[in-house]
Amino acid sequence: MLTPNVNLQNKTVLVTGAAGFIGSNLVMELLRTVEPIHIIGIDNMNDYYDPAIKEYRLREIKTLAAEHPSSEWTFIKGNIADHALIDKAFADYGFSVVVNLAAQAGVRYSITNPDVYIESNIIGFYNILEACRNHPVEHLVYASSSSVYGSNKKIPYATDDKVDNPVSLYAATKKSNELMAHAYSKLYNIPSTGLRFFTVYGPAGRPDMAYFGFTNKLLRGETIQIFNYGNCKRDFTYVDDIVTGVKHVMQNAPEKVAGEDGLPIPPYRVYNIGNNSPENLLDFVDILQQELIRAKVLPADYDFESHKQLVPMQAGDVPITYADTSALERDFGFKPSTPLREGLRRFAEWYHEFYQSRN
């Protein structure tokens, strides 16, 4: 196991995408477990999905921050594609650790709205890298995605597999992030770690994700479409497991060492963070419907069969995602382990509280 070499106490940490699903949960975990800490959050609060959920997450952070007065929480509404804003934030705050989670997410949306992916995922990440170059940090951690594995046939996916076959622009931008980070690590000795997340889910998640979208549609009496006729498997990873993995990584920056030529060996790593246990989509839907009934989101006599439609695979999707997490276990003694039913139960209970019990 690695010995932590970055102490987060008394440090100033930047979390981009702080009102996002993973970002907000990471901020709250840091506030709960590291004192004192100063966290700066940046998010553009766009309307890719319901901004009310982002506002809810920010309220949760604000409430938690008030319970930890020795720490500081500062939120900046802004876009990482705004070069001047990012450079000013780095100059003003002097970040020790940067966690870049801001990105335009979604495989399907990238097919119809490519521009925003180039702006956020390429230009935005370039701005973060340039700022880390001009205002050196102890560690840059950034979100990649399981999508980089594209049409790879070998499973489970390991970080030393070739990832040269993206099947969506979103995947291509995430692979580009890894290449850009490697180049900046080599050129400017910036310690950086990329994290390939696998199908993250949980309470207050992204409404564009299947489990959330299915719930919305079922509640409206609409039909849900299950792609590839149900023959898809996903490595569903509960958000708390993702955040635990990110926190481990933040505290372990790749070491700066020189090669035989005297030049820096890039202080660069990539990890998978996934559940290492892919679930069939039909089984997933079955567990989801049970938990929605249990949480009283849907009535006990709901007719699921009449609201399910099996359809072909759609562009940009892959039939299976499956993470090899052996490197994560080797270096941190950690492996995501939240059972799917437990995670979906927490989501269903949150959904009932957020949308229904307040009405």
Q: Which domains does the chain have, with CATH numbers?
A: 12-201+239-276+321-338 (3.40.50.720)
CA atoms of 299 and 288, how far apart (whole Å): 13
User: Which tens digit of pLDDT belongs to each residue from 71-105?
Assistant: 999 999 999 999 999 999 999 999 999 999 999 98
pLDDT of the residue at 233: 87
pLDDT of the residue at 129: 98
* 313 pLDDT higher than 70: yes
* 298 pLDDT higher than 70: yes
Average pLDDT over residues 127-142: 98
Partnered with residue 201 across adjacent β-strands are 238
In terms of Cα–Cα distance, which of 214, 199, 200 is closest to 351? 214
Q: Which residues are catalytic?
A: 170
pLDDT of the residue at 314: 74
DSSP state at residue 189: -
* 225 pLDDT higher than 90: no
CA atoms of 232 and 324, how far apart (whole Å): 18
* Residue 111 in tokens: 């097919």
Name the 3-class secondary structure at 196: strand
Taking all residues of the chain, what is their mean pLDDT, rounded to a whole number? 94
Average pLDDT over residues 187-200: 96
pLDDT of the residue at 311: 86
* Residue 26 in tokens: 């990471």
Sign of CA dihedral 73, 78, 81, 86: negative
Sign of CA dihedral 120, 124, 125, 126: positive
132 neighbors 190 (Cβ within 8 angstroms): yes
**Which range (134-143, 178-187, 269-278, 312-321) has the least confidence?**
312-321
Those residues whose C-beta lies under 8 Å from the C-beta of residue 189, and which sit 6 or more positions away, are 256, 264, 267
User: Which tens digit of pLDDT belongs to each residue from 262-283?
Assistant: 888 999 999 999 998 889 889 9
Does this model's pTM top 0.85? yes
CA atoms of 359 and 353, how far apart (whole Å): 10
Average pLDDT over residues 42-49: 94
pLDDT of the residue at 316: 63
Contacts for 284-288: CB closer than 8 Å, 24+ residues apart: 284/210, 284/211, 284/234, 284/236, 284/340, 285/214, 285/224, 285/226, 287/340, 287/341, 287/344, 288/211, 288/214, 288/215, 288/344, 288/348
221 neighbors 307 (Cβ within 8 angstroms): yes
pLDDT of the residue at 196: 97
